[in-house]
Amino acid sequence: MSAAFAPFAALAETLLPHAVEGDDGAHDIAHLLRVFHNAQKIASEEGGDAEVLAAAVLLHDCVSLPKNHPDRAHSSRLAADKAAGLLTTLGWDAAKVEAVAHAILTHSFSANLQPQTLEAKILQDADRLDSLGAIGIARTFYTAARMGSKLYHLGDPQGHARDLDDRAYAIDHFALKLLKLADGFQTASGRRLAADRHQRLSDFRDLFFDEL
């Protein structure tokens, strides 16, 4: 599998054993590979330190608490700390360790932190792309099933007269998070890639309610 992360196959071979926790299919090695490809596309236009970005992608979910965990918002900080310790043990330069840790710390939507470096901005965009489009739809309903959520509120599916709750109803996640993501992309390349995927989300939500 590490070969799929070329030209950083050797780095991937070292870091992948530490890269994911548990059995969450929305945050597995396949997710890391999709984010890596997204990051490569963005970086090909935006630039940045390729090695820092690759390490940040590989380790950005090395601690990933479930969506319904009370400490979910702290996942990225815990992952950043774990990544920094690992890279320091591997002999990485302190400045590069800090760059990787910052990118991981700020990538998360729930952490609500602003990325300050180009690599951090690219990681955030690359990760959020995987929450949009057809993959984003699949991940949403997969995660909802793991949490025991219903598809939608029977009496008020669109939330006209109730508070939206994406822990209880999968479709609520579209309005609460997914359809907001495209407005927060950090790079021009990321925004362009997000536009089509955002439209796919919007179209799916409209079709969903139309069928109801």
Residues paired with residue 150 on neighbouring β-strands, in sequence order: 169
Task: Say yes or no: 141 and 77 in one domain.
Answer: no
> Looking at the domain assignment, is residue 7 inside a domain?
yes
Residues paired with residue 73 on neighbouring β-strands, in sequence order: none
Task: Say yes or no: 55 and 3 in one domain.
Answer: yes
Walk along the chain (212 residues) and give the pLDDT tens digit of each residue: 899 999 999 999 999 999 998 889 999 999 999 999 999 999 999 999 999 999 999 999 998 776 666 666 678 999 999 999 999 999 999 999 999 999 999 998 777 889 999 999 999 999 999 999 999 999 999 999 999 999 999 999 999 999 999 999 999 999 999 999 999 999 999 999 999 999 999 999 999 999 99
Task: Say yes or no: 179 and 81 in one domain.
Answer: no
Task: Say yes or no: 153 and 199 in one domain.
Answer: yes
Task: Say yes or no: 20 and 61 in one domain.
Answer: yes
Domain CATH number, residue 204: 1.20.58.1910
Tokens standing for residue 107 = 């990538």
CA–CA separation, 114 vs 106, rounded Å?
Answer: 6
The last residue of one of the domains, among 91, 120, 149, is 120
Task: Say yes or no: 137 and 94 in one domain.
Answer: no
Domains in the chain: how many in total?
2
The single-letter code of the amino acid at 30 is A
Q: What is the pTM of this model?
A: 0.93
Domain range for 8 is: 1-120
DSSP assignment of 142-192 equals HHHHHHT-BSS-SS-TT-SSS---TTTBTTHHHHHTGGGGGGG--SHHHHH
Task: Say yes or no: 98 and 8 in one domain.
Answer: yes
First to last CA, the chain: 42
Task: Say yes or no: 115 and 204 in one domain.
Answer: no
> Looking at the domain assignment, is residue 174 inside a domain?
yes
Work out the burial of residue 122: count CB atoms within 10 Å of its CB; fewer than 13 is exposed, 13-18 middle, 19 or more buried: buried
CA–CA separation, 149 vs 98, rounded Å?
Answer: 38
> Looking at the domain assignment, is residue 126 inside a domain?
no
Task: Say yes or no: 182 and 95 in one domain.
Answer: no
Q: What is the pLDDT of residue 145?
A: 96
